[in-house]
Structure 1
Amino acid sequence: MGFADDHLIPLVDEGLGNSAYLVDAGGGRALAVDASRDLRALYAATRRRGLTVAWAADTHLHADFLSGAVQLGHEFGATVLASAAGHRVFPHRGLADGDEVDLGGLRLRALATPGHTDEHLSFLLLDGDREMGVFTGGSLIVNSAARTDLLGTERTEELARAQYRSLRRLAALPQETTVWPTHGAGSFCSAPPGTERTTTIGAQKQTNALLAAPDEDTFVRRLVASLGSCPAYFARLSERNRCGPAVLTRPPALPALEAERVRALLADGGQVVDVRPAAAFAAGHIPGALSIRLREQFATWLGWLLPDTVPLAFVVGDGQNAEEVVWQAYKIGYERLAGHLAGGMPAWRAAGGAEATTAFVTAGQAPDGPYLDVRQEAEYAAGHVPGALHLELGDLAEHAADAPAGAVVACGHGERAMTAASLLERAGHTGVSVLDGGPAEYAAAHGMRLEAADGGDR
């Protein structure tokens, strides 16, 4: 069969900033590339197109999500395609550099592109002898390259040098070759901001500053300098993916728990995650609950701030989907989900449960005193309130003692700040208030101009 644009279906996870791909290979058979364990969108696409997934390819041992390849093998009998160098312990076809897979007319060629991980492969899709596109995973991404520090800081530079060679190899492909990366904007695997999730080799030669580096040393300096923090759970998932996630024989559920069950869970070392909007949490919540609003980034912050070894109960608000809580948790390996509070906070109050509140203030209502900014380093550097104390949300639990008493906690809008305030309250802080807004609003209300890391005004 010939390959046309509508034969490829991108499946974007906006929260993790990643893309999976479904390729219609003809004859009712499809190839899935870098599919996560949350296969709902992929299943919907196969139903729409009348496809069976015959092959499930992973470009690398993912750190930010559990692979759906094993599940696709169970559901469809798909052959799992992955690097032989990854030493996966479940049934798969191990590929080495240059190996090809016949997709029934189309061909998939493995290209060794280490850097993001040791065993990383890119997959070149060929229609006859024509290079249609390349699935680059965590190698070449739009206007950047994926991070090289996931195997430990002591190997960051070594892997950055491998990444340099891998990008040069990919850049040698024909200019019109489409680039289909896994990591995109919003990914903590080092994708820069932007809306484009695919590109071409030719476009990257013109716009990618890393490809424009005049030599290997410059490339390494630029790449390493771009590395920010990443979620704590990244350290666990590569090995989970090497072993293969457990097959799910039925959709996971989140049972309803009476208030007394939630109290018992807390007493026994479990934790409560309140997924309601920030304003609802502020108005009344279970003491000690962690506020993480159910949104696209929910999995990231769940995996960054809580262990996967304790049972979790959730407080869900009206109109929120408990199924979404489950899938976001499961795709990053959080399976000790005890359930959700039946009846929500009204039921908790009716059962005599203790309740706490948090001040949620506008910029005009916020006091002048200490301002705690919990955004990422790059956000803070781009513009912050003069005199602000900066502690990234991901680091806050370990440094709660450094937070000033009575601080106004702020991020860009208020959601991460409410999470931060819930962490501080759990650590014993009182008098914390959360800014409903961001630094620009606060600065304007208090007669300030934002500062940038270079010392200039914003």
Structure 2
Amino acid sequence: MVTPAQVQLHAVVDEGLGNSSYLLDLGDGSALVVDPPRDLRAVLARARAEGLRIRFAADTHLHADFLTGAVQLAHDEQATVLASAAGARRFPHRGLRDGDEVDLGGLGLTALATPGHTDEHLSFLISDGARPVGVFTGGSLIVGSAARPDLLGPDRTDELARAQFASLRRLAALPGPTAVWPTHGAGSFCSAPPGAQRTSTVAHELATNPLLAVGEEQRFVDALLGSLGSYPAYFRRLGEINRRGPAVLDTASVGALAPLSAPEVRRLCAGGATLVDVRPVADYAAAHVPGALSLALRPQFATWLGWVAPPDGAVVVVRNPDQDPADIVWPALNIGVERIEGELAGGLDAWTAAGYGTVGIRVLRPDHLDGEAVHVLDVRQSAEYTAGHLPAAHHVELGTLADRAAELALGPTAAMCGHGERAATAASLLERAGHRDLAVVTGGPQDWADTTGRALVTGPDADPGPPAQDPAARGGGKAHP
């Protein structure tokens, strides 16, 4: 991480959401935390390890991809919340405007208006006396790119892209050695495609960031918008929740899952709850509750939960005994999934002991596909698909599959992604929509190419995707436990 020697800065990276929070040691036993998530476990653990009390919590913008932890820190740590006055937040905070300064004790913070990712976006310049040290750029200048300007809707996108052009140039005018500490980075759906590094310097970005090399506004707008892919549907809800302020949690009680009997789970699911199976793909494929949504517990769990599960619906969990409930509940709360009713007590064994049936799904290695009479459904993001896919593959992004599954006429289908987790989610969505004869491919297109010696197809398809069919012709309906 790029950190000037005289500044003690600790990055806390969320690999799943692709974000960094920062803990800045203020030299007196206290700290400033920038863009803390609602799931504060890692931030607080790092603060305790460093012997720091969090005195300030600063949000660069109204986040769309996670709920802020600033409200919780104000409650639990009596931290002062610093945020844009233009954000009209409805909870106690110190509203900052362009040029406002905050004395952190030895270091100074200056608010810089840098709209573009959002319209109230601030960057926070940290100075030692008159000398700039580093700048928390949030969702403005990021390593190798800039954060996306389309989260406030298509009617605002062009305006915000032009604001991002001006904001990046304002930040690029800072002294070259100034460290750049973005919030969004590799893996974040808030970002245009960034590099692997999460921090940088102004000088390095001027030398390497292609968007800073574009001096004409319209060309910048075209380049930025041309790099954008899809983003999770829950992004459209969280900004307003962050404006109001997430509810303060009783953190001592968060992390447990209420035990539910198999009949209780069956009743809840019949009433519309989503049964989320967080077990590894192999376990889900071997046997699962009919209609369960497969979302293997991994760093990206929360993103896909928020993307494919019904918004604001109740959730019931199926897990293995070695999977920590806190690692399910906290990520869900982090992206605004509040209605977690509990878990199937005793897991799948309890389900079968109650006399309820299970179903399985075939698992195929990539090199087995050539001997199978199946359609390959590639559910990766469009940029991944165009970079290389199987010659006969159909393409539907996983994030759109829930809305399209009932209308797709696929026949025997093998779902494929890069490793298998998204493919299992896709297969579970298809099963919930009534499809049968499904398989999950445990590996991606490159594995297929490596083992078969055949070439992948690159570029977009002329094929618009799997055909639609009258649901009545397919047979079956939505599966329920």
TM-score normalised by L of structure 1: 0.96
Q: Which amino acid aligns with 1:399?
A: R
CA distance in 1: counterparts of 2:172 and 2:101, whole angstroms: 20
Instruction: Render the CA deviation track for 1:374-429: whole Å, top value 9, x for unaligned.
Output: 00011001001112111000000111122511121100111100000000000010
- Unaligned runs of at least 5 residues, structure 2: 462-481
Aligned to 1:111: 112
Residue correspondence of structure 1 range 11-22 to structure 2 within 5 A: 11-22=12-23
Aligned to 1:414: 420
Deviation for aligned residue 1:4: 4.0
Aligned to 1:154: 155
Q: Which amino acid aligns with 1:105?
A: G
Aligned to 2:399: 394
Aligned to 1:451: 457
Deviation for aligned residue 1:132: 0.6
CA gap 1:281/1:6 in 2 versus in 1, 3 angstroms:
farther
Aligned to 1:213: 214
Instruction: Render the CA deviation track for 1:122-174: whole Å, top value 9, x for unaligned.
Output: 00001111111000000000000000000001211110000000000000000
Instruction: Render the CA deviation track for 1:151-202: whole Å, top value 9, x for unaligned.
Output: 0012111100000000000000000000000001000012425431000000
Instruction: Render the CA deviation track for 1:259-288: whole Å, top value 9, x for unaligned.
Output: 121111112111100001111101000111
Aligned to 1:379: 384
Q: Which amino acid aligns with 1:208?
A: N
Residue correspondence of structure 1 range 294-309 to structure 2 within 5 A: 294-309=297-312
Match of 1:337 among 333, 337, 340: 340
1:55 counterpart = 2:56: yes
CA distance in 2: counterparts of 1:254 and 1:301, whole angstroms: 20
Q: Which amino acid aligns with 1:73?
A: A
Q: Which amino acid aligns with 2:38?
A: R
Secondary structure at the counterpart of residue 422 of structure 2: helix
Conserved? CA contact 1:273–1:290, under 8 Å: yes
CA distance in 2: counterparts of 1:263 and 1:272, whole angstroms: 9
Aligned to 1:359: 362
CA gap 1:26/1:270 in 2 versus in 1, 3 angstroms:
same
Bigger drift between 438-447 and 150-159 goes to 438-447
Aligned to 1:72: 73
Deviation for aligned residue 1:446: 5.6
Match of 2:264 among 261, 266, 289: 261
CA distance in 2: counterparts of 1:48 and 1:444, whole angstroms: 45
1:100 counterpart = 2:105: no
CA distance in 1: counterparts of 2:46 and 2:427, whole angstroms: 40
CA distance in 1: counterparts of 2:208 and 2:457, whole angstroms: 29
Aligned to 1:316: 319
CA distance in 1: counterparts of 2:360 and 2:261, whole angstroms: 22
Bigger drift between 3-12 and 273-282 goes to 3-12
Aligned to 1:288: 291
CA distance in 1: counterparts of 2:103 and 2:363, whole angstroms: 58
Secondary structure at the counterpart of residue 30 of structure 1: strand
1:425 counterpart = 2:428: no
CA distance in 2: counterparts of 1:14 and 1:79, whole angstroms: 27
Q: Which amino acid aligns with 1:389?
A: H
CA distance in 2: counterparts of 1:202 and 1:98, whole angstroms: 23
Secondary structure at the counterpart of residue 55 of structure 1: strand
CA gap 1:78/1:276 in 2 versus in 1, 3 angstroms:
same
CA distance in 2: counterparts of 1:259 and 1:333, whole angstroms: 26
Secondary structure at the counterpart of residue 137 of structure 2: strand
Number of aligned residue pairs: 454
Aligned to 1:243: 244
Q: Which amino acid aligns with 2:275?
A: V
CA gap 1:447/1:50 in 2 versus in 1, 3 angstroms:
closer
Q: Compute the RMSD of aligned alpha carbons.
A: 1.5
CA distance in 2: counterparts of 1:444 and 1:42, whole angstroms: 41
Conserved? CA contact 1:62–1:237, under 8 Å: yes
Deviation for aligned residue 1:368: 4.3
Q: Which amino acid aligns with 1:28?
A: G
Conserved? CA contact 1:386–1:448, under 8 Å: no
Secondary structure at the counterpart of residue 211 of structure 1: helix
Q: Which amino acid aligns with 1:402?
A: L
Q: Which amino acid aligns with 1:264?
A: R
Secondary structure at the counterpart of residue 72 of structure 2: helix
Residue correspondence of structure 1 range 165-176 to structure 2 within 5 A: 165-176=166-177
Aligned to 1:201: 202
Aligned to 1:134: 135
Bigger drift between 173-182 and 266-275 goes to 266-275
Instruction: Render the CA deviation track for 1:226-268: whole Å, top value 9, x for unaligned.
Output: 1100001000000000000011123412122221211111121
Residue correspondence of structure 1 range 71-90 to structure 2 within 5 A: 71-90=72-91
Secondary structure at the counterpart of residue 212 of structure 2: coil
CA gap 1:345/1:168 in 2 versus in 1, 3 angstroms:
same
Secondary structure at the counterpart of residue 23 of structure 1: strand
Deviation for aligned residue 1:5: 5.3
Deviation for aligned residue 1:320: 1.1
CA distance in 2: counterparts of 1:241 and 1:403, whole angstroms: 40
Q: Which amino acid aligns with 1:149?
A: D
Instruction: Render the CA deviation track for 1:203-242: whole Å, top value 9, x for unaligned.
Output: 0011111111131111100000011000010000000000
Instruction: Render the CA deviation track for 1:329-364: whole Å, top value 9, x for unaligned.
Output: 010111101111111111111111221111111123
Conserved? CA contact 1:385–1:448, under 8 Å: no
Residue correspondence of structure 1 range 221-232 to structure 2 within 5 A: 221-232=222-233
Conserved? CA contact 1:308–1:333, under 8 Å: no
- Unaligned runs of at least 5 residues, structure 1: none
Q: Which amino acid aligns with 1:91?
A: P
CA distance in 1: counterparts of 2:175 and 2:8, whole angstroms: 21
TM-score normalised by L of structure 2: 0.92
Aligned to 1:187: 188
Deviation for aligned residue 1:49: 2.0
Instruction: Render the CA deviation track for 1:11-55: whole Å, top value 9, x for unaligned.
Output: 100000000001111211110100000111111122122221111
